[in-house]
Amino acid sequence: MSNWERIKSEIEEYTNNSHLTELQIVAKLEKFYFNKKVNENLKLYKKGKKKVSDITKDLKISPRKFYAILNKKKIEYKKYNKD
């Protein structure tokens, strides 16, 4: 049994034991792993080892969304005026 088949069987088994559909389970997994990746990148950002542009490319999100995440987590960042 390949890894892919094992993952599918685990999701189907979990679906049978819970009140969620396969798509709901996958959405929750996606959210969990996205947040995990965000937290890893935020640690590097706080230490100054990773730039915003690298993080946004890594996470495939816009810089505006990244700054919204920083605001939500109450992390300070430098604001630039384009004037």
pLDDT digits (tens, 9 = 90+) for 6-55: 999 999 999 999 999 999 999 999 999 999 999 999 999 999 999 999 99
User: Does the pTM exceed 0.75?
Assistant: yes
- Return the closest-CA partner of residue 60 out of 42, 79, 80, 34: 34
User: Could you tell me which of 29, 27, 54 has the C-alpha nearest to residue 40?
Assistant: 54
22-47 and 52-59 helices, crossing angle to 10°: 170
Q: From its phi and psi, is residue 10 left (phi > 0), alpha (psi between -120 and 50) or beta?
A: alpha
- Its sign, for the CA torsion 41, 66, 55, 32, is positive
